[in-house]
Structure 1
Amino acid sequence: MTAHAYSPSLFTRTGAVSAVTLAAVGGSLLVPGATPEAHAASAYAAKALNVAASKKGAPYRYGAIGPSRFDCSGLVLYSYRKAGRSLPRTAQAQYNRTSHVPASGRRKGDLVFFHHGGQVYHVGIYAGGGKIWHSPKSGSVVKLSKIWSKGVRYGRVG
C-alpha cells in the first residue's frame, strides 16, 4: 500500500478502525482533512511539551534553567531533561543539535527557533495550532503564544 493509497475493499475487509490503525502504523494518515500537525509527537516530545506547559507563569530570568525561573533556552533544556533527553544550553546550540524539519512537517513538541541574519535569538516548544510555550523576555513569564514571525525554523530532538 502506498502512502496515499485508498482502497474501498481495505475498509470493507478490515473495518475503518483497523484501516486507520494500519495507516498510522505504516506512517500515513487516512483521516480526511488531517494535517501533518495531527501526527503524534514522540513520547519524550509530548512529555517535554507537558513539562513546559506546567511551568506556565514562571518568571523569566536571563540564564535561568529552572525549576522556578527560566530564559527561553533554559525552559527548553529543563523540559527536555525532564523528558529524558539532553540538549545544550543556548538556543543556537540547540538549533545546531536538532534535526531540522520543514514547517509542513512540524509536530507538537518540536522546537521553534526564531532567527535573524543567520543567528538564532529565541526558542520555544511547538504546542500545535501555530503556538509555542516559551519564556519570552525580562519582565514576562512562561506562556503560550502565537508564533509572531515568519523568520522561524523547526527542529526535532532525537
Structure 2
Amino acid sequence: MRYSFRNILFLAFVALALGGCASSGKLQPGSTPGLQTVPVEASSSEKAQKLWQVFERYRGTPYEYGGTSGNGFDCSGFILTAYQEGLGKQLPRTTTQMLASGDVVHPGEIRPGDVVFFRIGGKEQHAGIYMGGDRFIHASTSAGVIQSSISGYYWKGRLTEARRFD
C-alpha cells in the first residue's frame, strides 16, 4: 500500500511540474478536443524564422507566473513577447484573451506562427506557438522557454484549439 501511495504522489508531482501556465481561465465553448495539425517544415515560413530567432534569444529563460521579460515568462507572456519582438504585433496578454480574439484555425490548417492551446488540469489552459514539423515553442512551468512535440507523451491529446493573429 505504501508503494501505491508513493506512485500516486510521484504522478501528482509530475503532473504539476509539467503543467502549463494558469493565466488563462477556461476553454471557450465549441473547442475542438484532439485538434490535429498538418506537419509543415518550420523553414518554410518567414514568420516562423522570425519567431525562432526570438526563441533562441530566450531559450531556457525560467518560468515566472505573470512574467513578460527575459527575467521570466509565463506561457502567454512568452507568446506576447515573441509576437512583439519577432513580428511587431501586439497580442492580448492572457490565454483567455487570446482565445477570445484572433482567427479560429480549423483542424488540419494549423501553420507555423499560429498560437496553439492545450487543456491542462481541467479548466486551465496552456498555450504555445506552433512552429511546423510537430513542434511548438512555449514557456513551461518545469523547464522555462523550450520547444516541445505536439505529439509527445505529455502533450498528445491535450491540444484543443488554435488561433491565427495576422
Q: Please, which moves more after superposition, 148-157 or 46-55?
A: 46-55
Size of the aligned set, in residue pairs, is 122
Structure 1 residue aligned with 2:14:
none
One-letter amino acid of the structure 2 residue matched with residue 149 of structure 1? K
The residue that corresponds to 2:33 in the other structure is none
**Contact 1:63 1:71 survives alignment (8 Å):** yes
**Higher relative contact order, structure no. (Cα contacts within 8 Å, ≥ 6 residues apart):** 2
| Alpha-carbon distance between aligned partners in 2 of 1:154 and 1:66, rounded to the nearest angstrom | 24
Aligned to 1:6: none
Which segments of 5 or more consecutive residues in structure 1 lack a partner in the other structure? 1-34
Deviates more, 1:94-103 or 1:72-81: 94-103
For the pair shown, the structure with the greater C-alpha radius of gyration is 1
Amino acid at match of 1:110: D
Determine the C-alpha separation between the residues in 2 that align with 1:125 and 1:47. 12
Contact 2:39/2:133 (<8 A) preserved: no
Q: Report what 1:61 is aligned to.
A: 64
Map 1:56-95 → 2, pairs under 5 A: 56-82=59-85, 83-95=87-99
Q: TM-score, normalised by structure 1?
A: 0.66
> Aligned residue for 1:155?
163
Q: Which runs of 4+ in 1 moved over 6 A?
A: none
The alignment partner of 2:140 has SS state of: coil
TM-score using structure 2 length: 0.63
User: Given the alignment of the two structures, is residue 109 of structure 1 paired with residue 113 of structure 2, yes or no?
Assistant: yes
Deviation digits for residues 22-62 of structure 1, max 9, x if unmatched?
A: xxxxxxxxxxxxx6725944x45542343134311110000
